[in-house]
Amino acid sequence: MKPQNDKPTDKPSKDAGAKPGPYGEGNYEATRQYNKGVKDHMEHHDIEKEARDAAPKSDAEAKEMLEAEQAAASRSKAESPNVRKANSTK
């Protein structure tokens, strides 16, 4: 008889009573809900105004936002082509 391992496992047991999940990765219902929420937001809000409101209010704030973006990108596994480089121009 094997000794019992007290370490928790990463995978839940098959008999945990949960419904089977979707095939592959992702959650189709959550994706549908997210897409519906995005569509609803875009139909009922002024997206251009929200973008203007989110823009940096000063050069110092713009610099701070760029530095934060670069710091986050430096920790990512793969660089997104949308991330600006420090020496890029607008």
What pLDDT does 60 receive?
A: 98
- Name which of 65, 49, 30 is nearest 73 in CA terms: 65
Within a domain: 83: no
What is the tally of structural domains in the chain?
1
Q: Give the domain extent around 37.
A: 28-74
Within a domain: 82: no
What pLDDT does 56 receive?
A: 96
Within a domain: 23: no
Query: In terms of DSSP H, where are the helices of 1-90?
Result: 28-44, 47-54, 59-74
Within a domain: 44: yes
Q: Is the pLDDT assigned to residue 2 strictly greater than 70?
A: no
Q: What is the tens place of the pLDDT at every residue in 30-89? A: 999 999 999 999 999 999 999 999 999 999 999 999 999 999 999 887 766 665 565 555
